[in-house]
């Protein structure tokens, strides 16, 4: 009888798929055979518990999201209509295999996989910001990892909100994916208008021009100016990949110079 019960549970687990199950975040250590077996056992029990108790969406803690932009052609949702998968860290647990949306106008993370019991539509849930440790969107050509930066982290130098952590080295590069609103024919339209910041020894500097950025690096300003000039890039028009490459080159060359 017990074997039959477990088999039913496992079949139920397989049928549900369970992409949203959370896992505890721990340090990246290579487990031994006993530790690996214990981890697998715990994950199985956790999954069975989730299926049996209906907690496969345990990470959801928020309010219903109203799509206020339904009349707009230009949506404030980040890369609206583009395929993606996502993962999110809520209360220290990671949930993957999701499809999340990010509202760049209201700074909300939205989950829309909860059936509203009518069989045709689904609830859109704005996940409570205070519970979100981080979230990531995986697109075909890019991976975007977001963290919430408040005044305690930034010293109030930049507006609080979700930022893409585009580059995290000795020098940092973050992007505020935002939308600005303009009315056209009596309808609010939302236009994508991202803002990038580079973290330097002097704090956060908005990406505008190469000369202004270089000055923020003090004694290393000439090195940064040289790298920008060599690449013949107009920093104001540079894309994310170009800026990241500049910062990686700067950090590498600065490290080599200091070792000498």
DSSP assignments along 186-251, one per residue: TEEEEEE--EEEEEETTEEEES--HHHHHHTTGGGHHHHHHHHHHHT--GGG--HHHHHHHHHHHH
Q: In terms of domains, do 91 and 189 share one?
A: yes
Q: In terms of domains, do 48 and 125 share one?
A: no
pLDDT at residue 8 tops 70: no
Q: Which is more confident, 103 or 121?
A: 103
The mean pLDDT of 101-118, rounded to a whole number, is 79
**Centroid of chain to Cα 39:** 27
Output the average pLDDT for the chain.
Answer: 77
Residue pLDDT, tens place only, 24-65:
444 444 445 555 555 555 554 444 434 433 445 555 677 888
The encoded tokens of residue 254 equal 């600065």
| Residue 221 lies inside a defined structural domain of this protein | no
Domain containing 21 equals: 2-53
**Is-contact 179 105, C-beta < 8 A?**
yes
Q: In terms of domains, do 43 and 73 share one?
A: no
pLDDT for residue 172: 92
Q: In terms of domains, do 68 and 194 share one?
A: yes
Q: In terms of domains, do 200 and 117 share one?
A: yes
| Residue 234 lies inside a defined structural domain of this protein | no
Q: Which is more confident, 93 or 201?
A: 93
For the chain, the C-alpha Rg in angstroms (whole number) is 23
pLDDT at residue 88 tops 50: yes
| Residue 227 lies inside a defined structural domain of this protein | no
3-state secondary structure of 118: coil
- pLDDT grade for 259, boundaries at 50, 70 and 90: very low
**Is-contact 23 43, C-beta < 8 A?**
yes
Please give the tally of structural domains in the chain: 2
pLDDT for residue 10: 33
What predicted TM-score, i.e. pTM, was given to this entire model?
A: 0.73
The mean pLDDT of 214-233, rounded to a whole number, is 84
Q: Which is more confident, 213 or 100?
A: 100
| Residue 231 lies inside a defined structural domain of this protein | no
Q: In terms of domains, do 26 and 135 share one?
A: no
Lowest mean pLDDT among 7-11, 88-92, 136-140: 7-11
The encoded tokens of residue 56 equal 């496969």
Q: In terms of domains, do 18 and 137 share one?
A: no
H-run or E-run covering 154: helix 151-154
The encoded tokens of residue 120 equal 């045709």
| Residue 237 lies inside a defined structural domain of this protein | no
Q: In terms of domains, do 66 and 194 share one?
A: yes
């Amino acid at each position: 009888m017990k074997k039959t019960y477990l088999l039913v549970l496992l079949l139920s687990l397989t049928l549900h798929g369970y992409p949203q199950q959370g896992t505890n975040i721990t340090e990246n250590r290579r487990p031994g055979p006993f530790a690996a077996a214990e981890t697998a056992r715990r994950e199985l029990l956790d999954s069975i518990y989730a299926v049996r108790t209906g907690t496969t969406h345990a990470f959801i803690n928020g309010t219903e999201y109203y799509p206020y932009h339904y009349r707009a052609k230009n949506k404030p949702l980040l890369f609206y209509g583009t395929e993606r998968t996502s993962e999110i860290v809520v209360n220290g647990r990671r949930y993957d295999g999701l499809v999340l949306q990010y509202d760049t106008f209201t700074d909300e993370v939205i989950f829309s996989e909860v059936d509203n019991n009518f069989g045709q539509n689904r609830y859109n849930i704005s996940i409570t910001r205070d519970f979100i440790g981080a979230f990531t969107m995986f697109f075909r050509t890019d991976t975007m990892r977001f963290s919430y930066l408040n005044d305690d982290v930034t010293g109030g130098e930049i507006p609080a909100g979700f930022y893409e952590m585009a580059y995290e080295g000795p020098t940092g590069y973050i992007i505020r994916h935002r939308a600005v609103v303009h009315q056209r024919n009596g309808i609010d339209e939302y236009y994508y208008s991202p803002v990038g910041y580079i973290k330097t020894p002097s704090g956060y500097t908005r990406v505008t021009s190469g000369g202004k950025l270089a000055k923020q690096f003090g004694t290393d300003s000439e090195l940064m100016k040289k790298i920008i000039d060599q690449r013949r890039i107009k920093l104001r028009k540079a894309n994310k990949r170009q800026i990241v490459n500049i910062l990686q080159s700067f950090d590498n060359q600065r490290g080599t110079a200091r070792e000498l």
